[in-house]
Amino acid sequence: MLSAVGIAACGDDDDDAGSDATTGATAGGELTIYSSLPLQGGLRTQSAAMVNGIRLALKEADNKAGNFTIKYESLDDSTAQAGNWTPEAVSANARRAAQDDSTAVFIGEFNSGASAVSIPILSDAKVPQLSPANTAVGLTSDEPGAEPGEPAKYYPSGFRNFVRIVPKDTIQGAALATVMKEDGCTKVVLANDKEVYGAGLARNVVAAAEAQDLEVLFNEGIDPRAANYRALASRARGQDADCFVFAGTTPNNAVQIFKDFGAALPEAKLYGPDGVSDSAFADEGEGGIPAAIASRTKITVATLAPASYPPEGREFFRQYAEEYEERQPDPYAIYGYEAMRLALDAIERSETGEREDIVKALFDTEDRTSVLGTYSIDDNGDTTLTDYGVYTIDGGELKFDQTVTAET
Amino acid sequence: MTGDAAAPRRAPAPVRGPRTRPRAPKLPRRARVGLAAAALLGGAILPLFLASGGGLIEDATLALAYVVMALGLNIIVGFAGLLDLGYVAFFAIGAYTMGYFGSLFHINVNGGEGIHVLVSGVAAELPGIHLNFLLIVVLAIIATTIAGMLIGLPTLRLRGDYIAIVTLAFGEIVGRIAINGDEITGFGTKLTNGRQGITPVDKIDLPFLDPFTALNLRPWYWVAFVMVLLVLFVNFRLRDSRLGRAWIALREDEVAAVSMGVPAVKTKLLAYGTGAAFGGISGAFLGSYLNTVNADQFQFSFSIFILAMVILGGLGSIWGVVVGAIALSFINNYLIPDVLNNVPARIGLDFDLTQLSFGIFGFLLVIMMVLRPEGLIPERRRQLELQEGIEDLAVDGDDVQPAVRP
Amino acid sequence: MASASLTGARAAAPARVVRAFLDKYGLICLLLVMPVAFGIHDLRTEGDLSRLGNNLLDGLSNGSIWALVAIGYTLVYGIVELINFAHGDVFMIGSFTAAGFFGTIGLTAATGVPGLIAGLLLTLLVAMLASGSLNLMIERVAYRPLRGAPRLAPLVAAVGFSFILQNVGLLWRGGSQQGIVDLINSQKELVMIAGVSVTHGDTLAIAVTIPLVLAMTLFISRTRLGKAMRATAQDPDAARLMGINVDTTISATFLIGGMLAGAAGLTYALYQTTVWYFQGFTAGLIAFTAAVMGGIGNIRGAVLGGLIIGVIQQISDNRIGSQWTPAIVFAFLVLIMVFKPSGLLGEETREAG
């Protein structure tokens, strides 16, 4: 209560709380890294995988970044009642990180719509934000795919605090189109889950496919709660489609839609993005798609061929398998792992551990070797990765097939 | 086994027989006024004791916004007896009013220059339409009142649970339009921004005050508190007015009320309109407070959430609804995520309680209903009915068909 | 004078005829608008009706699952006037039980036909028992203590139970839709009739639903318990005076409703080959709509409503866009409520204001 009153006494000074706060962190002190992910509802599995990856990275680093001791706290941006991220929970998490003097990095959110809520708050407080999953173009740049006013509107004070380690939608869209072109597709149908991720990716696949002279028959937003998509699939059959792309995530009924399109288009090739690159999708034994359909499915993921992993990457796979008893880590675990590693690296490079210096260190990331490949962070806060790994499914596991460089 | 359960309830109307529960002694008027005044005073000074940007004040502000909604729903369901399962529609319409007139959503309007009415600070520089928050609240009230009446119209001929179904359907349709509205374009703009959401939304900007910020929540709290005071005042005045008595009369017995000269159509529509307007006020506030208007917010479960507040507090009971809204809001936003979640770790269990939060919320609802179904602070009139008048309700059962037929 | 009144009658006649016609057939016309319009469209553009035929068949097989769930809704509503929000989740638990039981008794896609049939019948029994007893338990724990409480109290309790069951489902099989073993090769074509492809799944859904619905109808109209249920639905007090044990009758209603949900759960699992903790919520909303559309309290109405909604969904998915399907279903619901609130086959039910 005392501390609460103490803060209350300087109530109106909150605007510069950010700069105040960071002075508390002297070199060698204790810093906190927060993550804000939907731990309840449909995305729980992916979020849990990310948290696992984050914890593993921190454990590997022995809770240290340079001279700093790092404390990690996992926040939940969803509520019981909604079963999904809520703006209430997101802003509560962002405020909590903004007002904690020891905050060094905020890892989150999972959903791009949620990041649109937390970025302005964290940008005001100059908290470095690092998303392991957001792909919406407009969060960082005004390139095609962004809305008017983006991205400036998310940074009302003009301070850019947001970087991400996954390539934005345009890159993966182009990668998928390139793979389809190589595989000899001619008539493509798309379904997307209408989420920011799925709908944005689908738009980019359409644009890239048309640029590469593929005919796109339709791009349909689906209701992820529908029992099945047989009627939609039979429409694709009526139009003689030979390739199907689902732009969305596993919890948005990916298994069902692959089954239905697989049955309706018995000859077609099927494609999915990293949103379906988990064992819940790939492994029939864990409730994924059946082997007959899996054999026609290809998935793009922004990770390297396992053979070209840097040593610490191989170590990660070994440890992950040991720690969580899974042979193949979920790509989201990999993204979470790399997010934490980059955060620790940036804290170490900042030397001071002050928020603004960490942000600067994040943006200064150059030629970083990682599990995802070698990348830099550009002026927008985007990763420079353009190589995507193409995976096939074999015996319920993702198997690296080839690397494709997105034609953007 | 069934015998002993049935025995005490055999008396007046066995199946729907009222549970005889001793009436709570009525507090003297002075004590009640004193209690209410103390609660309001306590509410007013509460933020001074909380960190200005902490979790508690955030939850408290949300709770107040929900109180406004629950009081609105209470007019429809509690006073007028029209079971509305689509209240989320008014939240959505209020929030979209805020989004339309207080954000960058219409970014190309006026040749990219924007339209600004009585706004200061950052908002005055930005493109898009930016009206003063008070004007937006007025617009939200107008929009939701009209929407409330439009949704009410088809239900006028209906009774009982059919109203629930039609309102539920409208709530779902509004939610769907919010999600798919990014495909509907006209006048150079989209209808909604779907699941991407309209972000950011202007902060509240009141005359003589600096625009609000995201990190100091006290002004937000006080705005919400003033909204609650206004809405409470309106609620009490309405309840004791001619209109309020007409609502209750219709709720009790529509046929009798109409034959005594209560205009059923007008009275019901006013209930829908007023109740919806409160949802609109709160929706506009939440749009600004949460800094986003996202289609994912407008789900059926939100209607149920608000309805549960009303029922938990006591249908028709104004203070009951206030208590119910605060209680459920704190359970959802504070108790489950912040308090209960740490319990397993504290007692040394490696167990993640977020896996169970959904069930805990449900369990609390069930327990509270089983222990005190009439609500925490039941409305006295309703309590009387429960104990005396229940069999009258089934009187017109003579000429109806069996409800289950092959 | 006689002629004058005659002309008067004649003048009024068309309006009256139109109104009478609309009262009687308006709803059916409304429901036929989409199929007929798309049928004409197909004939003009493609020259045959096979696309519409496929839509209708898919709709009927999907709808027959909704129908089984809707019966449970309608029975419970008819007898205790409670919208049993947990019913959809009871259906979900039935699905999960069935999907789990396949593994327990070792059914795989390679099992031979006799073994498969025996196994499925056993699973049907287990799923029906699981869902039925679950529904019975919910009634005892949450609804029975609330009889006589404000009408909305059991509704909130039902919502609470719905959350609890969803959480159980979430813990059981995780947050994503889970594919399960495709025992009957659900999407494989069995026979092609006039361009309409009938799959194994379609056959199964219809083959399970018809006998169950017939049995239900006979049960309600012929048996002692069925009569007791009707009597209780009509007037619980009088029923009690006539010596009917109302508590037992209500319990039986919940048991039967739950068992049908269990059967629907098994059919769903076999037909879709995917189960999900949230499937019950969606199915519940749809089935509830179906029950209302058919006239709540009316078993045939619930079946009819389920089938109609199934068809509307498929046509909308196929022609309009699957993201609009829920909105279209609910728009139909509103229209029906406004113009024929008693539903397709229903009549006014006991009202409690």
The whole-angstrom distance between residue A129's C-alpha and the CA centroid of its chain comes to 13
* Closest Cβ–Cβ partner in A112, A148, A196 for B108: A148
Give the tens place of pLDDT for each residue, B29-86: 788 888 888 988 988 888 888 887 778 898 999 999 999 999 999 999 999 988 898 9
Ordered domains of chain A (ranges, CATH): 2-167+317-377 (3.40.50.2300), 169-301+388-405 (3.40.50.2300)
Q: Is residue B207 packed enough to be buried (19+ CB in 10 Å), middle (13-18) or exposed (0-12)?
A: exposed
* Closest Cβ–Cβ partner in C297, C334, C338 for B404: C297
pLDDT greater than 70 at residue B351:
no
C240–B14 C-beta distance less than 8 A: yes
pLDDT greater than 70 at residue C128:
yes
B403–C297 C-beta distance less than 8 A: yes
Could you tell me if B330 and B312 are in contact, meaning their C-beta atoms sit under 8 angstroms apart? Answer: no
On average, the pLDDT of chain A sits at 86
Q: Which residues pair with A190 in a beta bridge?
A: A219, A245
Whole-number Å distance between alpha carbons of C269 and C280: 12
Interface of chain C against chain A, CB under 8 Å?
51, 54-55, 58, 62, 65, 163, 170, 173-180, 182, 187-188, 268, 272-274, 276, 278-279, 281-283, 313-315, 317-318, 321-323, 325-326
Q: How far is B59 from chain A (nearest CA, A)?
A: 9
Pairing of strands B189-190, B185-186: antiparallel
Q: What pLDDT is stored for residue A13 in this prediction?
A: 40
The SS3 of residue A192 is strand
Residue of chain A minimizing CA distance to C189: A263
Stretch C40-47: mean pLDDT, rounded?
Answer: 85
- Written as one string, the DSSP assignment of A4-39 is HHHHHHTGGGGGGHHHHHHHT--TTSEEEEEEEE--
Q: Touching check for A154 and chain B: CB below 8 Å?
A: yes
Could you tell me if B94 and B148 are in contact, meaning their C-beta atoms sit under 8 angstroms apart? Answer: no
Whole-number Å distance between alpha carbons of C231 and C249: 10
pLDDT greater than 60 at residue C203:
yes
Residue reference for tokens 């016609």: C21
Q: Touching check for A42 and chain B: CB below 8 Å?
A: no
pLDDT band at A209 (very low <50, low <70, confident <90, very high): very high
User: For residues B264 and B347, which has the higher predicted lDDT (pLDDT)?
Assistant: B264
Q: What pLDDT is stored for residue A296 in this prediction?
A: 94
| Sequence-separated (6 or more) residues with CB below 8 Å from residue C125 | none
Q: How far is C279 from chain B (nearest CA, A)?
A: 15
Give the CA angle between residues C308, C314, C319 to the nearest 5°.
125
Give the tens place of pLDDT for each residue, B213-268: 888 889 999 999 999 999 999 999 999 999 999 998 988 888 899 999 999 899 99
Largest CA distance in chain C: 86
Stretch C237-266: mean pLDDT, rounded?
Answer: 93
Which chains does chain C touch, 3 or more C-beta pairs < 8 A? A, B
B104–A149 C-beta distance less than 8 A: yes
To test the contact with chain B by mutation, choose from C251, C330, C338, C339 the residue with the greatest count of B C-beta atoms within 10 A, namely: C330
pLDDT greater than 90 at residue C29:
no
Pairing of strands A187-192, A162-164: unpaired
To test the contact with chain B by mutation, choose from C92, C151, C254 the residue with the greatest count of B C-beta atoms within 10 A, namely: C151
B177–C327 C-beta distance less than 8 A: yes
Whole-number Å distance between alpha carbons of A365 and A368: 7
C-alpha dihedral sign at C250, C346, C68, B365: negative
Q: What pLDDT is stored for residue B86 in this prediction?
A: 92
Could you tell me if C152 and C134 are in contact, meaning their C-beta atoms sit under 8 angstroms apart? Answer: no
pLDDT greater than 50 at residue A5:
no
pLDDT greater than 60 at residue A2:
no
Chain A residues close to C279, C-beta within 8 Å: 227
Chain A residues close to B341, C-beta within 8 Å: 76
What Rg do the C-alpha atoms of chain C give, in angstroms? 22
pLDDT greater than 50 at residue A325:
yes
Domains in chain B: boundaries: 52-299
Residue type, position A369, single letter? T
Q: Is residue C47 packed enough to be buried (19+ CB in 10 Å), middle (13-18) or exposed (0-12)?
A: exposed
Residue of chain A minimizing CA distance to C55: A231
Q: What pLDDT is stored for residue B402 in this prediction?
A: 41
pLDDT greater than 70 at residue C218:
yes
pLDDT band at C296 (very low <50, low <70, confident <90, very high): confident
Which chains does chain B touch, 3 or more C-beta pairs < 8 A? A, C
Count of CB atoms within 10 A of residue A94's CB? Answer: 33
C327–B172 C-beta distance less than 8 A: yes
Quick check: ipTM above 0.90? no
Residues A55-63: contacts with CB under 8 Å, at least 24 apart: A56/A316, A56/A319, A56/A320, A56/A323, A56/A333, A56/A337, A57/A316, A57/A336, A57/A337, A57/A338, A57/A339, A57/A340, A57/A341, A57/A344, A58/A33, A58/A340, A58/A344, A60/A312, A60/A315, A60/A316, A60/A319, A61/A341, A61/A344
C148–B18 C-beta distance less than 8 A: yes
Q: What pLDDT is stored for residue A27 in this prediction?
A: 55
pLDDT band at B18 (very low <50, low <70, confident <90, very high): very low
CA trace torsion A237, A243, A248, A252 (10° rounding): 40
pLDDT greater than 50 at residue A391:
yes
Residue of chain C minimizing CA distance to A252: C176
Chain A residues close to B290, C-beta within 8 Å: 87-88, 91, 117
Chain C residues close to B386, C-beta within 8 Å: 148-150
CA trace torsion C326, C331, C336, C337 (10° rounding): 100
B359–C150 C-beta distance less than 8 A: no
The tokens for B180 are 């798919």
Q: Touching check for A50 and chain B: CB below 8 Å?
A: no
Give the tens place of pLDDT for each residue, C149-180: 877 788 889 989 998 999 899 888 877 788 99
Phi-psi region of B333 (alpha: psi -120 to 50; beta: other; left: phi over 0): alpha
Largest CA distance in chain A: 71
Residue among B108, B102, B149, B129 at smallest CA distance from B283? B102
Q: CATH code for C28-339?
A: 1.10.3470
Which chains does chain A touch, 3 or more C-beta pairs < 8 A? B, C
Q: What pLDDT is stored for residue A259 in this prediction?
A: 94
Could you say which residues from 37 to 66 on chain A have a Cβ atom under 8 Å away from some Cβ of chain C?
A: 41-45
Q: How far is A228 from chain B (nearest CA, A)?
A: 18
Whole-number Å distance between alpha carbons of B90 and B306: 12
Residue of chain A minimizing CA distance to B211: A15
Q: What pLDDT is stored for residue C214 in this prediction?
A: 93
pLDDT greater than 90 at residue C98:
yes
* Closest Cβ–Cβ partner in C232, C296, C323 for B180: C323
C279–A232 C-beta distance less than 8 A: no
Count of CB atoms within 10 A of residue C2's CB? Answer: 5
Stretch A84-109: mean pLDDT, rounded?
Answer: 90
pLDDT band at B15 (very low <50, low <70, confident <90, very high): very low
Q: Touching check for C153 and chain B: CB below 8 Å?
A: yes
The tokens for A297 are 């499915």
Could you say which residues from 227 to 286 on chain A have a Cβ atom under 8 Å away from some Cβ of chain C?
A: 227-232, 234-235, 238, 250-251, 253-256, 259-260, 263-264, 280-281, 284, 286
Fold of B52-299: ABC transporter involved in vitamin B12 uptake, BtuC (1.10.3470)
Chain A residues close to B178, C-beta within 8 Å: none
Could you say which residues from 312 to 331 on chain B have a Cβ atom under 8 Å away from some Cβ of chain C?
A: 312, 315
B352–A87 C-beta distance less than 8 A: no
User: For residues A381 and B199, which has the higher predicted lDDT (pLDDT)?
Assistant: A381
- Written as one string, the DSSP assignment of B144-208 is HHHHHHHHHGGGTT--THHHHHHHHHHHHHHHHHHHHGGG-EETTEES--GGG-B--BPPP--TT
pLDDT greater than 70 at residue B391:
no
Chain A residues close to B114, C-beta within 8 Å: none
Q: Touching check for A199 and chain B: CB below 8 Å?
A: yes
Helix axes B133-152, B161-180, angle to 10 degrees: 130
Stretch B355-380: mean pLDDT, rounded?
Answer: 82
A45–C175 C-beta distance less than 8 A: yes
The SS3 of residue C86 is coil
Whole-number Å distance between alpha carbons of A182 and A401: 13
Looking at A278-292, B297-311, C5-19, which range is the least confident one? C5-19
* Closest Cβ–Cβ partner in A45, A220, A229 for C174: A45
The tokens for C58 are 């898919």
Helix axes C299-315, A230-238, angle to 10 degrees: 40
Could you say which residues from 257 to 296 on chain B have a Cβ atom under 8 Å away from some Cβ of chain C?
A: none
Residue percentage of chain C with pLDDT more than 70: 94
Q: How far is A346 from chain B (nearest CA, A)?
A: 26
pLDDT greater than 70 at residue A85:
yes
* Closest Cβ–Cβ partner in B81, B170, B370 for C157: B370
Q: What pLDDT is stored for residue B318 in this prediction?
A: 93
pLDDT greater than 90 at residue A21:
no
Q: Which residues pair with C297 in a beta bridge?
A: none
| Sequence-separated (6 or more) residues with CB below 8 Å from residue A334 | A53, A303, A316, A371, A372
The tokens for B53 are 């940007």
C156–B369 C-beta distance less than 8 A: yes
Q: Touching check for B400 and chain C: CB below 8 Å?
A: yes
Q: Which residues pair with B103 in a beta bridge?
A: B201
B169–C154 C-beta distance less than 8 A: no
Could you tell me if B379 and B320 are in contact, meaning their C-beta atoms sit under 8 angstroms apart? Answer: yes
Q: Touching check for B3 and chain C: CB below 8 Å?
A: no
pLDDT greater than 90 at residue B161:
no
To test the contact with chain A by mutation, choose from B185, B212, B357 the residue with the greatest count of A C-beta atoms within 10 A, namely: B357
Whole-number Å distance between alpha carbons of C185 and C180: 12
